[in-house]
Chains A and B, each alone.
Chain A
Amino acid sequence: MADFDHTLLDDIIHSRIRLAIMAVLVAVEQAEFTFLKEKVNATDGNLSVHLKKLDEAGYVSAHKRFVGRKPLSSYRLTARGRRAFELYVERLEELIRT
C-alpha cells in the first residue's frame, strides 16, 4: 500500500463505480445502460447518479432512442473522458514505479 496525495488522481474517476464505468466504455465503442449495470454490478439509481456525474464532467455522452415504446440509453466515452482515463492510468503506473 502506498500513501499518496489523492489530489494527484482525478476525483471524478476516483470512485470504484465510475472507474468501472470508464473502464467498460474504454473497452467498447458504445454500451447500453443495462449492459453497464451488469458489468459494473450497480443498482439502477446508483448507476444513474454516477453516469450523470461523468456526463456533467464531459467524460461520457448519452444517446437516447426508442425501440418500440421502450426507451434505451446508450453511453460512450468522449475524447475528453478517454484522455482523463489515460491520465488516471498513467498516474497509477507512476505510483507503482515510485
Chain B
Amino acid sequence: MEQIDPKQELAFIRKVIQDSRRAAVDNGVDYIVWGVLVSLGMFATIGLELLRVTGTAYLFLWVAVMGGGWVFSLVRHLRERSTERVRTMAGSILNALWLACGIVIMILIFVGGPLQRGSPSPTIAAVLGIGFLVSGVLLDFVYFKVSAACWWAGSAAMFYLESPWARPAHPRLHADMLLFAVMMILCQVVPGIILYRRWRNEVAGD
C-alpha cells in the first residue's frame, strides 16, 4: 500500500499543463509586419488614386505588398519550424486559420476586386474579424477579441462608404480604404505589439 494525496497530484498535473501551454504563445510578429505592410499599401493606393495614376501600377503595388508578406511569413515559419522546441495544437490551428484567411484575402484582392470593379476592403475586414476572434480565443487575448468586433463594425462602415448612399468627401478618395488603413494600424499593429510584449514577458518569466 502506498500513500498519496490525489488532490496534490491533480494540482501538480494542472500546474505542469498550464506552464507548458504558456510556453507556446504566439509572439505577434506576423500581425505587426502584415499590418504595417498592408496599411502602407493602402496609403500608397490612396496616393496613386489622388495622383490619378491608372493602369497596372496598382497590380504591381499589391503583388509587392502581398508577395513581401508571404515571403516574410514563409521564411519565418520555416526557420521557426526547424528550431522550435515545442509545438501546440493551438499553434497549428492558428497557422491553418491565418493561411485560410490569407488565401481568401488574396482571392478578394486579385480576383474579386478586379472582376467586380468594387473595393474588396469591406469583405476583407469581415474575414479579418473571423481571424481575430478565433485567434483571440485560442491565445486568450482580449485585444484580439475587441479587434474582431471593430473589424466587423468597420466592415459595415466600409460597405456604407462604398455604397451609392454615401457622399464622397473627394471624388477620387476612397474613404473605405482610408478607414481600412487606419484600422490596420489600430486593430492589428497595436494589438500585435501588445501581444509581442506579452510574449517577451512570458519568455523572460519562464
Q: Which residues of A contact B (CB under 8 A)?
A: 1-6, 16, 19-20, 23-24, 26-32, 34-35, 38-39, 67, 89, 92-93, 95-96
B117 to chain A, nearest CB (A): 44
- In chain A, what residue has the closest Cβ to B21? A27
Whether A27 contacts B17 by the Cβ 8 Å rule is yes
Number of interface residues of B (CB under 8 A): 30
Total A-B residue pairs with C-beta atoms closer than 8 Å? 80
Q: A24 and B20: CB pair below 8 A? A: yes
B75-98 interface (Cβ within 8 A of A):
82-89, 91-92
Query: CB-nearest residue of chain B relative to A16?
Result: B12
Known A-B contacts A27-B21, A30-B87; A19 and B5 likewise in contact (beta carbons under 8 Å):
no
Asked if B13 and A28 sit within 8 Å, CB to CB, the answer is no
Give the docked Cα–Cα distance between A28 and B83 (Å): 16
Minimum CB distance partner of B16 in chain A: A23
A67 touches B6 (CB 8 A): no
B7 located at the interface, meaning its Cβ lies under 8 Å from any Cβ of chain A in the complex: yes
- Tell me if B127 is interfacial: C-beta within 8 Å of chain A: no
Cross-chain contact A3 with B82 (CB below 8 angstroms): no
Q: Is the CB of B85 within 8 A of A31?
A: yes
Minimal beta-carbon separation of B33 from chain A (angstroms) = 24
Question: In the bound complex, do residue A3 and residue B3 qualify as a contact, i.e. CB atoms below 8 Å apart?
Answer: yes
Is B1 engaged at the interface, CB distance under 8 Å to the other chain? yes
